[in-house]
Structure 1
Amino acid sequence: MTGEDHHLHARTMAGIAGAVRRGQIEKALDYYLPDAVFEETALGHAFHGRAAITKLFSDFVTAIEGPTFTVVSSFGSGRHAVFQWVMSGTRHSLVPQLPDRQAAHREFTLQGASVCLFNADYRIARETVYWNPQAMGPSPAPPSGTAH
């Protein structure tokens, strides 16, 4: 990654993180192309286009209180970049995308990585995110007598 590429890729990720932290979903989406794909591998879903990504980010802002997102390291070349990050916050409602609907009011810290494809203007065309959903904390125990 050239110095200029690195600076512009990092600025994009910082802009997204800041906008989401402040609940400014539309501002965060300005860093994505209108037909971008946001793939959540941990959840097994790909969100195609602005409307789907808006819904995903809106659900996140609704469910997570005080999110922080810190890029720990990054590398790439030209239109491609990889970011290792740490995210923390407090779930203040159920996280609807998690398959077992993780319990609310629990602090968490998790690490993950984003693999991004940028266009020539450093907007994201595709972001594939890798993280472990178990890092959000254990799910509530099933009621006694319930088979798993």
Structure 2
Amino acid sequence: MPTTPPTELDCPFCKIAARGEEDTREVFRTESVVAFFPPEPATLGHTLLIPRTHARDIWDVSPDLASELGRATVTLAGAVRRAMRPDGLNVIQSNGAAATQTVMHLHVHVVPRWKGDAVGRIWPPETHYSEDDKDDAWEALRREFRS
């Protein structure tokens, strides 16, 4: 009989997926995903969407589950738009500590945005990459798709 990997035993999102957290403000649930409010939302209406099975990050998810997660993200974004009437919306999905992932269970942030909200910019105002550096990165990705 397979055992649960140690990363799942203490995963707070796995507990939510298994309905083990009574104080979770759940928005909706399907066979594959769960949407809920984080305890410290960036804005009102900020919702997290997770797969119900443990996947550490985007590289740990099957194409079928990724497809389901994508469809659920679009559905959630529409509901947030209708319910919260934001000026805009961020859909954020981070992978690894360097990308600010703090819970190692794949999750998507759907964050309604308003002009002047406390979130601020999520991108630097400018970067200083040389054209050669950009060409090298472009060629590396193109090479990967050709192989």
Could you say which TM-score interval applies, normalised by the shorter chain?
Answer: under 0.3
Higher helix share: 2
CA radius of gyration, larger in: 2
Higher strand share: 1
TM-score, normalised via structure 1 length: 0.27
